[in-house]
């Protein structure tokens, strides 16, 4: 058996792959021409199965994608082919869920406002006059400053996409005492305490949520799912968080909704247009937190990436079922 790697990888990673793939012959293709020649009699590929490589492959059975996302990996000829495709889903779940709760806690405790005040040298508690200190006689009465903060245990969290990331978000929400709802077209199992809706009931779920987290993949069904009409199904005091794919949210519609005060704010790690163009209104929106597609950043992720590949190589050699098999029909 033979494995082709394209694009090429480092010698350190290659040595581990060669060991796991025994007795497969491993080719670390230095360029596309070499990859196209070598894949003719290859059984497996790690890397990008381009149309050129698919056309040249005569007996390829498996392609391991180096990414979790599939929208740029798959195309009609690959979907129609018998090649099994696996991806890297699951290696980012906890890391991205932590990022989500960075947004949620920031909005709940108004850190996004207080950080800006700090930069201006301004000491003011929301709900109080500038310079006014909180009373120290005890919290006997509810003050407007109390109402400016959000208690997570009083909130409903809605998750769009109950895959690995969505489940990790749900687990964290439950740990904070939140009521947790989700929408997913296929999921049957959820953390205890998390309800599952089907996509036809998305509007019903949105109307109940204080925080809505998009953790869905980009598929034909999710493309610009969150347009102006969908956003208007949310509560006016709700926050939208997107760590899924930028194109799931119509950027112009979200901008207009925020300008019109139709939702309370947004936390966005992915955008329809990246980077966000200079001069875009969102740069100056106090109720928007923008992060530069960094939710998956962690020193743990490269380790997991390699281990997923090695585990699948061992399974392939033994003829066992592969991990993270992709339903190719979902994406094209």
Beta carbons within 10 angstroms of residue 243's beta carbon: 26
The closest of 123, 275, 142, 250 to 266, measured between CA atoms, is 250
Cα separation, 39 vs 45, in Å, equals: 8
Beta carbons within 10 angstroms of residue 209's beta carbon: 24
* Cα atoms found within 13 Å of the Cα of residue 323, Cβ hemisphere only: 15
**SS3 at position 324:** coil
Q: What are phi and psi of 292, to 5 degrees?
A: -85, 65
CA distances from 36 to 31, 41, 55, 308 (A): 9, 10, 9, 25
Distance of CA 89 to the CA centre of its chain: 10
**Lookup: tokens for 205:** 């779920």
The closest of 204, 168, 181 to 95, measured between CA atoms, is 168
Beta carbons within 10 angstroms of residue 55's beta carbon: 11
Cα separation, 60 vs 45, in Å, equals: 8
CA distances from 290 to 53, 129, 228 (A): 38, 29, 20
Catalytic residue numbers, as ranges? 293
Rg (CA), the chain: 23
Q: What are phi and psi of 86, to 5 degrees?
A: -120, 155
**Lookup: tokens for 67:** 């990414």
């Amino acid at each position: 058996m033979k494995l082709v790697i394209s694009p090429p990888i480092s010698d350190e990673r290659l040595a581990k792959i060669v060991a796991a793939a025994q007795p497969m012959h491993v080719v670390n293709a230095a360029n596309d021409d070499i990859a196209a020649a070598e894949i003719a009699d290859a059984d497996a590929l790690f890397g990008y199965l381009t149309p050129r490589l698919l056309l040249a492959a005569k007996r390829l059975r498996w392609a391991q994608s180096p990414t979790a996302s599939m929208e740029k990996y798959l195309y009609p000829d690959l979907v129609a082919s018998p090649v099994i495709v696996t991806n890297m889903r699951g290696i980012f779940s906890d890391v991205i869920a932590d990022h989500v709760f960075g947004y949620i806690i920031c909005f709940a405790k108004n850190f996004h406002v207080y950080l800006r005040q700090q930069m201006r040298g301004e000491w003011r508690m929301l709900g109080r006059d500038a310079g006014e200190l909180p009373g120290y006689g005890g919290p006997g009465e509810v003050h407007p400053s109390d109402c400016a903060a959000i208690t997570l245990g009083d909130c409903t969290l809605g998750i769009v996409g109950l895959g690995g990331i969505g489940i990790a978000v749900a687990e964290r929400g439950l740990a904070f005492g939140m009521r947790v709802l989700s929408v997913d077209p296929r999921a049957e199992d959820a953390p205890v305490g998390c309800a599952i809706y089907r996509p036809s009931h998305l509007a019903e779920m949105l109307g109940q949520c204080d925080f809505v987290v998009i953790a869905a993949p980009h598929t034909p069904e999710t493309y610009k799912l969150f347009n102006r009409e969908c956003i208007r199904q949310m509560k006016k005091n709700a926050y939208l968080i997107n760590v899924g794919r930028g194109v799931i949210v119509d950027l112009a519609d979200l901008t207009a909704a925020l300008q019109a005060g139709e939702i309370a704010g947004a936390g966005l790690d992915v955008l329809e247009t990246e980077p966000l163009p200079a001069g875009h209104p969102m740069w100056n929106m106090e109720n928007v937190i923008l992060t530069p597609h960094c939710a998956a950043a962690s020193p743990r992720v490269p380790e997991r990436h390699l281990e997923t590949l090695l585990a699948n190589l061992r399974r392939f050699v033994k003829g066992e079922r592969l991990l993270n098999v992709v339903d190719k029909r979902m994406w094209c």
